[in-house]
Amino acid sequence: MAFNATLVVLAAGMGSRFGGLKQIEPIGPGGEALLDFSVYDAKKAGFNKVVFIIKKAIEKEFKETVGKRIEKIIDVEYAFQELDTLPNGFTCPENRQKPWGTGHAIYCCKDIVKTPFAVINADDYYGFEAYNQIYNQLKKQTGNYCMVGFRLENTLTDNGSVSRGICDIKDGKLLSVTERTKIVNCKYTEDDKEWISLSPDTVVSMNMWGFTPDIFEYAKEYLVEFLNEKIDVPKSEFYLPSIVSKVMEKGIKSVDVLVAEEKWYGVTYKEDKDDVKKALYKKIEEGKYNF
């Protein structure tokens, strides 16, 4: 019997540093976006459904430029991350403009996703190995959550600094993720004065997680806690890793860490696009993709 698993794609955010809607930026020779490559790899690994989390404001453009292509190869549904999609008893403040964050995005798909699932960023390229690993881990149905990390040196850009979640791992289990917001050439700084070296082999989180549907219970519980504290803080965000951290701290779940040795690609800066294009065109030439 086939194992049903869903790919949840975080696609509601705008690319502030990139300066546009990265989710649908053409990269491939046929106008494919990075997420076309992601869905191709995920389907090949065994995933049989995709849920795109988007804003209603981009629904028409997203469906016309990406959705109609992907619907031809895999079952697709949409969840909408809107500012007013909140638990009962909460009303979005009138001055709120910033999205509530990736944890809120997961909350927004609670009524749609019914199977074990993986979560990815729409504008990241993870490679087939990562999808194969996370699908097989979900298939084991251990009851744990999981994540696929990448080697730091395989996630950097020559075009500026990056933010990465540095993983502390013991015996294959995630202990914590520490966000370093300014990394260049495997060194980070907190004050723009002192630069601290990191091993190129350091495992970093690129927001590729694997969950069972019980994550939605915790997403709602911790979202309520967050809103009680910070609903009136205009730029406050409820992040997916904070949900993971809480369930680990409380001993509810452990997180198995898988490591992909492939290079991760993303368009953090406009200048990254050409490099990503070259890399993916090469993979197409090698026969790894046949759109």
- How much is the pLDDT for 73? 94
Query: What average pLDDT is seen over the chain?
Result: 93
Rounded distance between C-alpha atoms, residue 186 and residue 184, angstroms: 6
If one counts every other C-beta atom within 10 angstroms of the C-beta of residue 106, the result is 29
Provide the strand spans (E) within the chain: 6-10, 49-54, 75-80, 117-121, 124-125, 145-151, 162-170, 173-184, 187-188, 196-197, 203-211, 255-260, 265-266
Instruction: Count how many Cα atoms sit within 13 Å of the Cα of residue 132 in the half-sphere of its side chain.
Output: 7
List the chain domain ranges: 6-141+206-255+269-285
- How much is the pLDDT for 19? 46
Buried b (16+ CB within 10 A) or exposed e, 160-189: ebbebbbbebeeeebeebeebebbeeeebe
Rounded distance between C-alpha atoms, residue 45 and residue 41, angstroms: 6
Rounded distance between C-alpha atoms, residue 149 and residue 9, angstroms: 17
Which residue type does 109 have?
C
Instruction: Answer whether 81's CB lies under 8 Å from 52's CB.
Output: no
- How much is the pLDDT for 232? 96
The CATH number of the domain covering residues in 6-141+206-255+269-285: 3.90.550.10
- Name the stretches of the chain with pLDDT < 50: 14-19
Structure pTM? 0.94
Residue 187, beta-bridge partner list: 184, 197
pLDDT in tens, 241-264: 999 999 999 999 999 999 999 999
pLDDT in tens, 57-74: 888 888 888 899 999 999
The percent helix, strand, coil of the chain (3-state, each to 5) is: 30, 25, 45
Contacting residues for 274 by C-beta, under 8 A, at least 6 apart? none
- Which of 95, 21, 97 lies closest to 60, judged by CA? 21
